[in-house]
Amino acid sequence: MAYTLLIIGYIVFFSALLLSFTVNFVHYMHMFQLNSYSAEEQVHWIKNNIKSIVKRHIFPLVAALFALFSCVVMNGALFGENPVGTGYIDKDNIFGAALINVPYKVCTWDLIICSSLIIIGLFFCKNNQPVKKKLVFTPRVIRMCVTSAAVYGLVCALSMIFLFDSGFNLFALCLWQVCSIFMPIIANFINKPVEKGINNHYINDAKRIINELPNLTVIGITGSYGKTSTKFYLNKLLSAKYNVLMTPESYNTTMGVVKTVRGSLNATYDYFICEMGAKGVGEIKEICDIVHPRHSMITSIGEQHLETFKSVENIIKTKFEIADCISDGLVFLNYDNDFIREHKTDKNIVSYGFDSSYEYYGDNIRVTAKGTSFTVHHGEESADFSTKLIGAHNVQNIVGAIAVANKMGVSLEELKMPVRHLEAVPHRMQILDKGNSVIIDDAFNSNPAGAKAALDTLGLIEGFKILVSPGMVELGEKEYELNKAFGKQAAGVCDFVIAVGEKQAVPILDGLKEAGYPEEKIFTAKNLNEALANCDTLKTGGAKKIILLENDLPDNY
């Protein structure tokens, strides 16, 4: 009976361990995927979320400490030789000599207590917030899961083999639950040679496909912000005359581009618009070496991703990698951006923006809640355009897309209708009419320039203006300063401000306070759902609510 209880105890204990490990590993794997499989970013995330992580692991840690205490007591290290009493398991039982001098009753109770603590800890792993982007079980993630399972199984086996005699196995196994925080990083490191080999195979295949399409014109687009919107606009404009493929959605990493090339690109396309993103020096060049763009475009340079780039100089250097790879083609540059305009390059530049000295420029901008109208000039030629999109920064991106399309052989007159039918890219100044309110959805990946432009646009629209925002991230040491400035600007535009996230929104609140904004016009929400619910309760005196959603942080914030 004693042996049976002990065996049942171990079955329950290992079941609790496996369940706890699985729940925690899936969570940390999800965060690792959101952190672009970067060990550096994952460690940074762990540091920023240490309180919630401790909460997830407090009970397994207590179980480990309890197991350690019990083991020390049973081994007589503190209180003499075998003080627990009688009931020792015979050395000839199924566990062999491993359990000699270990009281089976104590061992069974240890298993029960540790299992209970681990199971209780699972209730603290529950995430009450809705997941915005679920973990995607890509082949890479599946390989990491297999590696993690193998490592975990090996550690459990080694703990049972080498620590069973002393009784320290329970302590080691419980402690390993806490160490599961780093399992995705460990699995990724182990799999690195395999992943590199697989990626190289796919990259070489993408290069082969590109090389077999000599009539294809590749246009590369990058920028700290605005690149995805401009890509969508350019795709629409070029499609008025040509067969065009673009990287879908926000695909802008090396493997995202490779996936598009291998899965969609063929000889029927005249143009391939390739969006290129980066979080470090050399990443744009890596993509250029695969697709070999004939022409390129830089929409903006700013503090976005300053946290990973470390300096603005590194951002400038990386973004201009897309220009450095161009030999006899054109480089389209947004000259309204100071960093771009002041950077020297010997390439064949086509400048665009809002200044009349640029090769392509827009003026006569008129913004309403229903859309925007503007004029584009190129040399002696000019044309009037209208679009359903709102905001001067949208016009800036459209002017850039018009410049590229015009240089590729589409006349300004031919571009009028495609511009009129441009749709907002989801979550990028997207207008959502809800009847008694209008939502300006600018929730994707906010940045200082874009946030300022969004507030400028909000100020031009009549109605009761409400800002909903958690602020901006990945701005490094400037994060507090830039978010505070955003709060100060909001004070001069908005009738009500809802800051999302008690911790994240502190700089915005400080900016509002410094600007003398009334406290009764500020609400701090825990999440976006609570913020939107609060919007519904606001009294506007009959005015239509104009709600600006400026940024929506992913699950790893």
pLDDT by residue (tens digit) across 452-470? 888 888 887 888 989 998 8
| Burial (0-12, 13-18, 19+ Cβ within 10 Å), 282 | exposed
Instruction: Quote the CA–CA distance of 380 and 409 in Å, as a whole number.
Output: 17
**Per-residue confidence (pLDDT) for residue 41, from 0 to 100:** 85
Q: Are 103 and 88 in contact (CB under 8 A)?
A: yes
What is the residue whose two structure tokens read 């309403």? 368
DSSP sequence for 57-69 = HHHHHHHHHHHHH
Most confident of 193-202, 297-306, 463-472: 193-202
Lowest mean pLDDT of 173-187, 250-264, 412-426, name the range. Answer: 173-187
430-550 has CATH 3.90.1150.10 classification? no
Q: Are 481 and 303 in contact (CB under 8 A)?
A: no
pLDDT exceeds 80 at position 170: no
| 85-90 long-range Cβ contacts below 8 angstroms, 24+ apart | 87/2, 89/2, 89/3, 89/6
Return mean pLDDT, the chain: 84
Can you list the alpha helix ranges (DSSP code H) found in 239-343?
254-264, 283-291, 306-309, 312-319, 321-324, 338-342
Q: What band does 6 get if pLDDT is binned at 50, 70 and 90?
A: low
Q: Are 438 and 432 in contact (CB under 8 A)?
A: yes
pLDDT exceeds 90 at position 323: yes
pLDDT exceeds 50 at position 81: no
Q: 287-319 burial, b if ≥16 CB within 10 A, otherwise e?
A: bbebbbbbbbbbbbbbbbbbbbbeebebbbbbb
pLDDT exceeds 90 at position 184: yes
Q: What band does 71 get if pLDDT is binned at 50, 70 and 90?
A: low
Ramachandran sector of residue 435 (left: φ over 0; alpha: ψ -120 to 50; beta: rest): left
**Token pair of 174, please?**
């419980």
Q: Are 101 and 88 in contact (CB under 8 A)?
A: yes
Every domain of the chain with CATH number 3.40.1190.10 lies at 213-420
**Per-residue confidence (pLDDT) for residue 4, from 0 to 100:** 72
Every domain of the chain with CATH number 3.90.190.20 lies at 430-550
| DSSP secondary structure code for residue 370 in this structure | T
Residues in the chain: 557
**Per-residue confidence (pLDDT) for residue 132, from 0 to 100:** 62
213-420 has CATH 3.30.70.20 classification? no
CA 396 to chain centre: 25
Is residue 530 classed as helix, strand or coil in its secondary structure?
helix
The pTM score is: 0.77
